[in-house]
Structure 1
Amino acid sequence: MTEAEFRSIYDRLRRQLPWGPDDRRGALNYITPDEVRAALSEVQLGRTVPLAAPIEDWPAADNPEPARHEMKEPLGADAGRGVFFGMDRIAMNIHGNADSHIDALCHVMFDGTLYNGVPADTVGEHGAAELSIDVAADGIVGRGVLLDIPRSRGVQWLEPGDSVTVDDVLAAERDQSVRAGRGDIVFVRVGHRRRRNEQGPWDAAQARAGLHPSVLPVLAERQIAVLGGDGNNDTAPSVVAGVGFPVHVLAVNALGLHLLDYLQFTSLASTCAAAGRWSFLCVIAPLRLPTGTGSPVNPIAVL
């Protein structure tokens, strides 16, 4: 895709925003109380499945600055008579290439603006004055839909550099007898986590499977509310000449979609396949970071 073609899609999607210049919730507006109540009917098995990968505190090819998990003294060996407490502290980069996280609408700056034309300089040394992850402070609850692209293609995973196309999305929907629609929380599996678990970490910043930007207009037409993946959602290297992270730009900046990156779908995919259904109740609860550009997250699927 050329930069001119990309910018044409970007401009068209921005013009289609239905909520007006003062909106700060983006596609979360598609999740109404009616959508939440309807999503409750997805629960049939009474089974919960976590969608986050375990946080790693050791360096890897895709995680050179891992989370730091430190225990505070006194430790258990020092505990004597009476009450003692085990206490720990964690510090981490939210927007890395390994840990599961959600991107706020202030995360992606393009041509000097954030979502809905908010100036980029509203993000400063003390965080984001607008569009922070606190937009989702009430939590995100709705119908989740998993589209398993490797399953549909008949492979274990998509190789780094490969892209999920519109045809892939439609084929997965057909094969799984499911259709993503208004207010849905859509997860697209490329098999990134399975490849990482079986072959080891690699420099995912340089090479990873993701969505082709041409998929975003289809998802916009469907009026989905949230988008997530087991990789970064963007293919690397970028498929758009001169534009890095085109899917992030179209999703977060143009459409106001909260993105979830580097989730883990192995258990969810097997559970959905065994149940013969690929939709479920989904609950997402970001941390309360009033000026944060994102948050660590562990979405829960309830089937």
Structure 2
Amino acid sequence: MAVDPTAAPVTAAEFRALYRRLRRDRPDGALAELTPQRVAAAAREVRAGLRVSLAAPVETGEGPDNPEPAVHRMTGAVAGHLPDEGLDFARDRIAMNVHGDADSHLDALCHVVYDGTLYGGVDADTLTPHGADALSVDLLRDGIVGRGVLLDVPRLRGVPWLEPGDQVGAEELAAAEAAQGVRVGPGDLLFVRVGHRRRRAEQGPWDASAARAGLHPRAMEFLAERRVVALGSDGNNDAAPSRTEGVDYPVHVLAVHAMGVHLLDYLQFEDLVPLCGRERRWSFLCVVAPLRLLRATGSPVNPIAIL
């Protein structure tokens, strides 16, 4: 019986060879594929005028996948402290761990340190106590606007979600394309649904740092061949536990550090899926606008799909 390539472990030598094959060194990373012509073409994806968020609500409650939840504090104009007359303002403050396992966020190209460097061979010493001196999320100050494509792997398998630990390979991504009648191309934003959010909603949160569905490292060859600019998932993009020798987050290393592809982690697609099914298409205009944080390694994010 043939071995499932998504179940086979990846040795350290195999991972190094894969890293070398996929490595690209361009100042803006994969964003170079997002030409004005491709942005204009993506705008033509809008036909029904439907808008839907791909982000989950920011969570302020502690849980097994959220030990450091966001803190939301009211700082003015709250019940019991309101003036009887005249003007006042409701005010609040939010603090959060950007790279957690619960909230939707974007990873900047300075997020992954591998062999003492960042993407493009930039010295990791550019990460200082005051922030990132290179490759920060400010590279995306004009946003990522392009054609989004959603590949729904649970739909392909005929299940509500993938179980924690499952991995998705390049062949399965191609099969999802064929089943959905769509093709990922240069400059696209690829979104891969593994059903993490639905499983969490129906069965409750769990320690996603230890067990989650995601892409197999060799699936990154699919992204390289199709020349995508960003990869997003309703999970972490990486599966856990890792089956790559010596590397816990191989997809992060390959996408961010080798290829310069921005990652979007822990999105939610449960509102988008029925719209795509109703409209009978799985591509759309997508607008990703992270906060303008000059020296940050990532940002909370609320991508908008427009069909």
Under a length normalisation based on structure 2, what TM-score does the superposition of the two structures give? 0.95
Match of 1:269 among 267, 273, 282: 273
Which stretch shows the higher mean deviation, 217-226 or 71-80? Answer: 71-80
In the other structure, the counterpart of 1:42 is 45
Is contact 1:284-1:299 (8 Å) kept? yes
Residue pair 1:61, 1:201 contacting (<8 A) in 2 also: yes
Query: Match for residue 6 of structure 2?
Result: none
Aligned residues of 2:25 and 2:259 also touching (Cα < 8 A)? no
- Code of the aligned partner of 2:220: L
Q: Quick check: 1:146–1:279 contact (8 Å CA) kept in 2?
A: yes
Q: Distance in 1 between matches of 2:132 and 2:51?
A: 33
Q: Does 1:146 align with 2:150?
A: yes
Of 55, 77, 87, which residue of structure 2 is paired with 1:83? 87
Q: In structure 2, which of residues 15, 18, 36 is the aligned counterpart of residue 6 of structure 1?
A: 15
| 1:35-74 paired onto structure 2 within 5 Å | 35-74=38-77
User: What residue ranges of structure 1 are gaps of 5+ in the alignment?
Assistant: none
Say if 2:147 and 2:188, in contact at 8 Å, map to a contact too.
yes
CA RMSD of aligned residues (A): 0.8
Q: Does 1:242 align with 2:257?
A: no
CA contact (8 A) 1:76 1:86 kept: no
**Alpha-carbon distance between aligned partners in 2 of 1:74 and 1:274, rounded to the nearest angstrom:** 44
The one-letter code sitting in structure 2 at the alignment partner of 1:36 is V
Structure 2 residue identity aligned to 1:176 = Q
- 245, 255, 262: which one aligns with 2:259: 255
Residue of structure 2 equivalent to 1:31: 34
Structure 1 match to 2:126: 122
Amino acid across the alignment from 1:140: I
Q: Which moved more, 1:257-266 or 1:215-224?
A: 215-224
Shift of 1:244: 1.1
> Is residue 2:200 matched to residue 1:196?
yes
Partner residue of 1:209? 213
The offset of 1:74, in angstroms, is: 3.6
2:21 partner letter = R
SS in 2 for 1:53: coil
2: distance between equivalents of 1:256 and 1:196?
30
State the 1:4 CA deviation: 0.7
**What is the identity, as a one-letter code, of the residue corresponding to 2:12?**
E
In 2, the alpha carbon distance for the partners of 1:46 and 1:28 equals: 26
The count of corresponding residues between Structure 1 and Structure 2 is 297
What are the within-5 Å matches in structure 2 for residues 85-234 of structure 1? 85-234=89-238
Tell me, in whole angstroms, the C-alpha distance in 1 between the residues paired with 2:247 and 2:89: 50
Letter aligned with residue 5 of structure 1? E
Query: By how many angstroms is 1:18 displaced?
Result: 6.4
1:78 Cα deviation after fit: 2.6
**2:165 partner letter:** G
In the TM superposition, residue 239 of structure 1 has moved relative to its aligned partner by 1.5
Q: Gapped runs of 5+ residues in structure 2? A: 1-9
The 2-side partners of 1:197 and 1:184 are apart by: 29
CA contact (8 A) 2:109 2:135 kept: yes
Q: Percent identity?
A: 62
SS in 2 for 1:112: coil
1:177-226 per-position Cα deviation (integer Å, ceiling 9, x unaligned): 00111000000000000000000000000000000000101111111111
Structure 2 SS opposite 1:88: strand
**TM-score normalised by structure 1 residue count:** 0.97
Distance, in Å, in 2 between the alignment partners of 1:268 and 1:292 is 29
Query: Are residues 149 and 224 of structure 1, via their aligned partners in 2, closer, same or farther at CA, if it must alter by over 3 Å?
Result: same
Aligned equivalents of 2:177, 2:161: Cα separation in 1: 17
